[in-house]
A and B are shown apart, each in its own frame.
Chain A
Amino acid sequence: MPKETAPVDLKWPEEGLSVVPDWIYTSEEIYRREVERIFHGRTWNFVALEAEIPNPGDYKRSFVGPTPVVVSRDEDGAVHVFENRCAHRGAEFCRAQRGNAKEFICPYHQWSYDLKGNLQGIPFKRGVKKEGGMPADFRNEDHGLRKLAVTSHRGVVFASFAADMEPLADYLGPEIMADFEATFDGRKLRILGYYRNELPGNWKLYHENLKDPYHATLLHSYLVSFGLLVAGNKSLMLADKTGRHGTMASAKPDDVTASVDETSKKEMRAFREDMTLADPSFLDYVREFNSPWSVTMQTIWPNLIVQRELNTLGIRHIVPNGPHSMIMIWVMFGYEGDSEEMIRHRLKQGNLMGPSGFLGLEDNEAIKFVQEGIRRSPTDKGVVKLGGDTEGTCTTLISESAIRAMYRHYREVMSL
């Protein structure tokens, strides 16, 4: 019976981490538990780049898991995150993607909130002609918007429904933080624009994709043929000690043309001898980062991808949308102080990524194929045995050890 209609006992298969049961991608019950324990639990969730809201009164409509929130900068420059849900009747009051405001007013009954999310005013609070209105003991202080914990590091803003989260540095761990700070190196960001797409696959498949260096050497002809990521290149799949975060890193050789040995060529169907570029400047790498890696793709649990692919930079904000779908919001950026030429180089190189990118569209297609395959078949698990039973960081690309480490963590949090 296809899994959409089959009952599931939610018992992880006896083989342990060498297999992944399909129901973690298809079950409504699992999705409900993920939102509660992961996105609304003890995690730091990406919500904004500070460069999106540089001035007092600037705000952005955002999400923590599937939950709409507003990210707002107050008169003193502090950043606040609160539910995009009026405390009165629940209307999602903020409808614009971004803007500048002195206060937020719910259009339904015009309750107004300040830039910190505090309830300021209620029309007819004392009624009319001594009739109606709020009870005498109604206190505005008790009816503000629900506020989230906020932390910001190097211009990247995170929020949490948990009030007592550990500091971000502890949450990420030193190794993940080091790669994070190679991209967010203290230079102010310049926002270059947005992509938004709906990916018809479970949100965890995106984390897996970027903890799976094996696919990168096989699926992506661009990476393979131009030596950007080839089995045998200097590379690393890093996992933090909890297994939830990761950095997929590789170093591009100085030679633009791939130096792929004959044995590897035979293994990689995507390798194309005849693939040459009419405009090879597209793949130039300007060495601007204090990092041995020319490419790092960071998965920051549970909802952030940091892309540093040569000189094209961006974040991907994952918004889970039920078991079978995620919305992805991409914010592409450079740095203040970039020359016009450098901006154009970043934009040109942006053709690698995004919903029309030479790598991006192939990942989106592959993830869709996986969701459709698992959703409609009676076969009920996938295999993750590359690299044996290792878990966590690995130096070979031909391993799934970072995926296993992620599911070790996931099973603990989810009690599976």
Chain B
Amino acid sequence: MMAGFEHRAVEAAAVRELRAEIEEFHYEYCAVLDAAEVERWPEFFTEDAVYRITARENADAGLPVGLVYAEGRAMLRDRAFAIARTQMFAPRYMLHLVSNVRVLAATQAGIRAVSNYILLQTLVDGPTTIHQAGRYYDRFRRVEGRLLLAERQCVYDTIIIANDLVYPV
């Protein structure tokens, strides 16, 4: 259990409504990444957002390191720019599948949810592989009526990464 993501009582009708809204958010977010439009990726975050990708062994032990660790949308923009324009890596397709969306809490401070994800990777000379299986631990904030991520922790089970993880998750 990630600290801060305990399940609190939320009214059933509100859960249904929020789940639909969060699913919609996931689909748009993943569509951008699956289309390799990585420079649009920071648009899904608040200005002060925290973003981290880390192994479950770190999350379980309370260790703070991230494969990617960003504080603030500026760092996300810097990463997006680097991946899109300057980094050297073999071409690849990425495909996200998101499911099991659970609304954990909905308060004035924000909406917390956890969802499962599968990240598929296809290199030009091999089969499609499961690159990561993990969970999104999300804290959303509503800004001008629209959900934005104030925090996203991508916690993956796939302990040994196949070479590298180029694109954000």
A221 touches B87 (CB 8 A): yes
B66 part of interface (Cβ distance < 8 Å)? yes
Known: A222-B82, A277-B78, A362-B87. A197 touches B72 (CB 8 A): no
Structural contact, A193 and B64, CB atoms closer than 8 A: yes
Q: Which of A272, A279, A347, A364 contacts B163 (CB 8 A)?
A: A364
Asked if A213 is at the interface (CB within 8 A of a chain B CB), the reply is no
Which label, helix, strand, loop or mixed, suits the secondary structure of the A interface?
mixed
Chain A residues in 8 Å Cβ range of B86: 221-222, 225, 270, 272, 275
In the bound assembly, the distance between CA atoms of A272 and B81 in angstroms comes to 12
Contact A356 B67 (CB under 8 A): yes
Query: Shortest distance in angstroms between A285's beta carbon and chain B's nearest beta carbon?
Result: 17
- Chain B residue nearest to A329 (CB atoms) is B160
A197 and B70 form a contact (CB under 8 A): no
- Cβ contacts under 8 Å, A358 to chain B: 82, 87
B78–A332 touching, CB < 8 Å: no
CB < 8 Å neighbour of B63 from A193, A196, A354, A365: A193
A97 contacts the other chain (Cβ, under 8 Å)?
A: yes
Chain B residues numbered 6-44 whose CB sits less than 8 Å from any CB in chain A: none
Contact with A along B87-109 (1 / 0, CB 8 A): 11110000000000000000000
How far does the alpha carbon of A343 sit from the alpha carbon of B72 in the complex, in Å?
16
Name the distance in Å between A340's Cβ and chain B's nearest Cβ: 10
Q: Is A133 in contact with chain B by the CB < 8 A criterion?
A: no
Chain A residue, CB-CB nearest to B54:
A193
**A-chain residues with CB within 8 Å of residue B2 when the two chains form the complex:** none
Which residues of A in the span 350-402 have a Cβ within 8 Å of any Cβ on B?
350-351, 354-356, 358, 360-362, 364-366, 368-369
> With the chains together, A282 CA to B71 CA distance in Å?
10
Q: Check if B162 sits within 8 Å of A197, measured CB to CB.
A: yes
Tell me the bound Cα distance from A192 to B162 in angstroms.
22
Whether a CB of chain B sits under 8 angstroms from the CB of A327 is yes
| A348-B88 contact in complex given A198-B160, A356-B166, A361-B166, C-beta closer than 8 Å | no
Identity of the chain B residue whose Cβ is nearest the Cβ of A271 in the assembled complex: B86
B59 to chain A, nearest CB (A): 9
Interchain CA distance A355-B87 in the complex, whole Å: 13
Q: Are A194 and B57 in contact, CB atoms less than 8 angstroms apart?
A: yes
Which of A221, A355, A356 is packed against the most chain B CB atoms within 10 Å?
A: A356
Which residue of B70, B82, B90, B162 is within 8 Å of A365 (Cβ)? B90
Question: How many B residues touch A, CB cutoff 8 Å?
Answer: 37
Neighbouring A residues of B130 by C-beta, 8 Å: none
Q: Are A194 and B63 within 8 A (Cβ)? A: yes
- With an 8 A cutoff between CB atoms, is A178 at the interface? no
CB proximity to B under 8 Å, residues A204-228: 219, 221-222, 225
Q: Check A355 against B70 for contact (C-beta < 8 Å).
A: no
* B69 and A351 form a contact (CB under 8 A): yes
- In terms of DSSP, what is the predominant structure of the interface of chain B? mixed
B163 engages A195 (CB within 8 Å) = no
Q: Of B67, B78, B79, B162, which one neighbours A195 at CB under 8 angstroms?
A: B67
Q: Does A246 contact B (CB under 8 A)?
A: no
Known: A194-B58, A358-B82, A366-B88. A343 touches B165 (CB 8 A): no
> In the complex, A354→B74 CA distance in Å?
21
Contact (Cβ within 8 A) B78 A194: no
Asked if A191 is an interface residue, CB under 8 A from chain B, the answer is yes
Could you tell me the distance between the alpha carbons of A191 and B61 in the complex, rounded to whole angstroms?
11
Asked if B89 and A365 make an inter-chain contact with CB atoms under 8 angstroms apart, the answer reads yes
A198 nearest CB neighbor, chain B only: B160
Q: Which residue of A lies closest to B168 (CB)?
A: A356
Bound CA–CA A364/B88 (angstroms): 10
CA distance A191 to B79 in the complex (A): 25
The CA of A354 and the CA of B66, in the complex, are separated in Å by 9
A282 with B164, Cβ < 8 A, contacts A222-B82, A356-B53 known: no
Complex contacts, A275 vs chain B, CB 8 Å: 81, 86
Chain B residues in 8 Å Cβ range of A360: 164
Taking CB atoms and an 8 Å cut-off, the chain A residues in 167-194 that contact chain B are 191-194
Query: Is A57 part of the binding interface, using a Cβ–Cβ cutoff of 8 Å?
Result: no
Structural contact, A192 and B161, CB atoms closer than 8 A: no
B164→A347 contact, CB < 8 A? no
Q: What's the least CB distance linking A29 to chain B, in Å?
A: 26
A residues in contact with B162, CB < 8 Å: 197-198
Interface status of A323 (Cβ within 8 A of chain B) = no
Choice from A192, A221, A364 contacting B65 with Cβ under 8 Å: A192
| In the complex, residue of chain B having the shortest beta-carbon distance to the beta carbon of A219 | B88
Inside 8 A of B78's CB, which chain A residues have their CB? Answer: 277-279, 282
B55 touches A194 (CB 8 A): yes
Closest 7 interchain pairs by CB? A193-B65, A193-B63, A278-B74, A279-B74, A197-B161, A221-B86, A193-B58
Give 15 CB contacts A-B under 8 Å.
A191-B63, A192-B65, A193-B58, A194-B63, A197-B163, A198-B161, A222-B82, A222-B86, A225-B86, A355-B161, A356-B68, A358-B87, A361-B89, A364-B164, A366-B88
